[in-house]
Amino acid sequence: MCGFAGFFNGCRKVGDRNVLKAMTDAIRHRGPDDEAYYADDVCSVGFRRLSIIDLSGGAQPMFNENRNLALVFNGEIYNYRTVREELIAAGHVFSTQSDSEVLLHGYEEYGSGLLDRLRGMFAFVIYDRERRALFGARDFFGVKPLYYAFVGDTFLFGSEIKSFLRFPGFVKELNGRALEHYLSFQYSPGPETFFKGVRKLAPGHFFTYSAGRGFEERRYWSPAFDAEEDRSLTYWTDAIERVFDDSVEAHKISDVEVGSFLSSGVDSSYVACSAHVDKTFTVGFDNGPKYNETDYARELSELIPVKNFSKVISAEEFWDVFPKVQYHMDEPLADPSAVALYFVCNTAAKHLKVVLSGEGADEIFGGYGIYREPLEWAWYDRIPFGVRKAVGIAASKLPAKRGVNFLVRRGLRLEDRFIGNAYMFREDERKALLKQPTDAASPARMVKPYYDMVRDKDAVTKMQFLDLNMWMVGDILLKADKMSMANSLELRVPFLDKEIMALAGRIPTRFRVNGENTKYALRAAAARRMPPKWSTKRKLGFPVPTRVWLKEDAYCDRVKDAFLSVAAEHFFHTDKLLKLLDDHKNGRADNSRKVWTVYTFLIWYGVYFGAEPLTGKL
């Protein structure tokens, strides 16, 4: 696990080393163990290393035998030994035992076809000195990030955006469209970022770049759902157990100790029960049992048995570290659980370098409660859509409550009402909130390409596919990478494996989500290794008491100060912000998630732009 930064333009020669070191120093947290650089008259690359595999021989940038290819790589290739044997049989000579070298020789042998042979999490760039060209790729699910930008005729690439801010000539300017999208999704969706001109390489994509042919991006992999309806639950349970064990063993490959995160939920519990690690790590809050999973984790750890390390996060710790969290995130993320993840990573990093975690199980196996919505009162959907739409419009004028909300939501098509697990501000709400709305696409337009890819699937599968491509990438995996790397910790996700996705995509919807529970088949597999207290437990996520804190004077006043700031006045109608906050504090509405979304942006903006004149007119 590491970080890299580089630039390519074919003419820059002066000051390369100083610029490169500044860019790479900005991401030192990703790799405190080592640093190295390479530069010629075309390309400059810098690398920070967190040593996990081949501790003495895996240094980067790494070169092939004749040094015409140079690699920088962040991640792990879990099947590298198998691919290595194939390449040796084809005549390639290896000088290290690292998984990194497999990418170099694999690219020599297979070109972009190498990606089809890999199993792992990765973001890497290979510089071809002879062709004066770059080849870069991001893993199947988007576990590891890869950003790029153009500054004049110079192409920048790297693991984090903050490296680009150190490059001479890079103009730091807010992307107003990203803010508008963020207000709906609570994260930055799609390829654009909050920094104008900086883009993300999408999961399952690779790029090529050369001065002559320019930049090209292609998708090489996509998750697929093709259910096999004639198999029994026992068949799927057996298959999950077998394939998951194989994935866990692959994800444990390391030359250093591996531990595991552990909450009260089935996902992390299944990982911990299957991995046979020595240490587990848990955090909670001192706001009652609803927000504290440490007792569950401690009890299961005693049953396994393993040693559990836990931390209870105070409100002051949470609020005080929040600006640091947003700094490491690169872009604002209004998911409060990111702060909890920061603390559990910090706790684990005091004991080891690598942890396993349960991310991805909900999206792959159908774990979110919202996935049950299309199955509830299914008869209502048989009413002609025009009638449901009219009823929904009428219901929207009534005070919000459970029955009314049902009529409003079911008066919309799935593609309009479900944009992922978070839907903060509707298009009309965000435009009313912003002083200078942009031409940003509507939420429905943002998600349409993914719905179009599964137009022939059932509603639950459509929701899962959308979350796999958007919510999981923009929220779940963003915070997993950035919070672990902020603490120089490698986080591995055994559920996010190509073989597990291939299996899960064959499981019928009724064994994923049904009237009895979510993740039905996965829970059946988990029940073979843990008591029902864990295998059947309702999903909580990482519960954080922001709803409670925002009703307390001390924290409500912090948010109010932010809502009255110069930055807030620049971007928003502050009277509307203050009403959201006041209505929440006084119990007239639960606006906690909307309030937190705006507050998060303002904290992030203060971190990256606060010491400068206001920029980024919308």
pLDDT at 57 over 80: no
**Predicted local confidence at residue 478, as pLDDT:** 98
Lowest mean per-residue pLDDT among 51-65, 242-256, 571-585: 51-65
pLDDT at 614 over 70: no
**Predicted local confidence at residue 151, as pLDDT:** 94
Three-state SS at 417: helix
Whole-angstrom CA distances from 386 to 282, 392, 419, 455, 575 are 49, 10, 21, 20, 37
The sign of the torsion formed by the CA atoms of 312, 315, 321, 327 equals positive
Q: At 618, is the pLDDT very low, low, confident or very high (cuts 50, 70, 90)?
A: very low
Q: Output the DSSP codes for 97-132.
A: S-SHHHHHHHHHHHGGGGGGG--EEEEEEEEETTTT
**Residues labelled catalytic:** 2
**Predicted local confidence at residue 150, as pLDDT:** 95
Query: What does the pLDDT average to over 220-240?
Result: 97
**Predicted local confidence at residue 515, as pLDDT:** 87
Query: What does the pLDDT average to over 401-415?
Result: 89
Cis bond upstream, residue 305 (ω within 30)? yes
* Selection from 256, 260, 278, 498 nearest residue 357 by Cα: 260
Report the share of the chain in percent with pLDDT over 90: 82
Which H or E run includes 243? helix 233-251
Q: At 189, is the pLDDT very low, low, confident or very high (cuts 50, 70, 90)?
A: very high
pLDDT at 540 over 80: no
**Predicted local confidence at residue 1, as pLDDT:** 58
Query: Considering the domain 233-314+341-366+469-535 in this protein, what is its CATH number?
Result: 3.40.50.620
**Residue 340: HSE in the Cβ half-sphere, 13 Å Cα cutoff:** 26
Helices (H), 304-370: 315-329, 337-349, 361-365
Report the share of the chain in percent with pLDDT over 70: 95
**Predicted local confidence at residue 82, as pLDDT:** 95
pLDDT at 308 over 70: yes
**Span 131-146, pLDDT tens digits:** 999 999 999 999 999 9
**Predicted local confidence at residue 294, as pLDDT:** 86
* Selection from 231, 151, 273, 113 nearest residue 511 by Cα: 231
What is the residue extent of each domain of the chain? 2-176+200-219, 233-314+341-366+469-535, 376-460, 546-609
HEC profile for 30-86?
A: HCECEEEEEECCCEEEEEEECCCCCCCCCCCCEECCCCCEEEEEEEEECCHHHHHHH
pLDDT at 356 over 50: yes
Query: Considering the domain 2-176+200-219 in this protein, what is its CATH number?
Result: 3.60.20.10
Whether 453 contacts 447, CB under 8 Å: no
**Predicted local confidence at residue 610, as pLDDT:** 87
Q: How far apart are CA 484 and CA 349, in angstroms?
A: 9
pLDDT at 291 over 90: no
**Span 15-28, pLDDT tens digits:** 567 899 999 999 99
Q: How far apart are CA 7 and CA 23, in angstroms?
A: 10
More confident residue, 32 or 166: 166
Which H or E run includes 486? helix 477-486
**Predicted local confidence at residue 28, as pLDDT:** 94
pLDDT at 403 over 90: no
The pTM score is 0.94
Query: What does the pLDDT average to over 303-317?
Result: 94
Query: What does the pLDDT average to over 242-248?
Result: 97
**Predicted local confidence at residue 52, as pLDDT:** 63
- Per-residue tokens: 218: 């292609």
Average pLDDT score over the chain: 93
Label the pairing between strands 205-210 and 69-77.
Answer: unpaired
pLDDT at 617 over 80: no
Q: How many CB atoms lie within 10 A of CB 338?
A: 25
**Span 445-455, pLDDT tens digits:** 999 999 999 99
pLDDT at 14 over 60: no
**Predicted local confidence at residue 543, as pLDDT:** 81
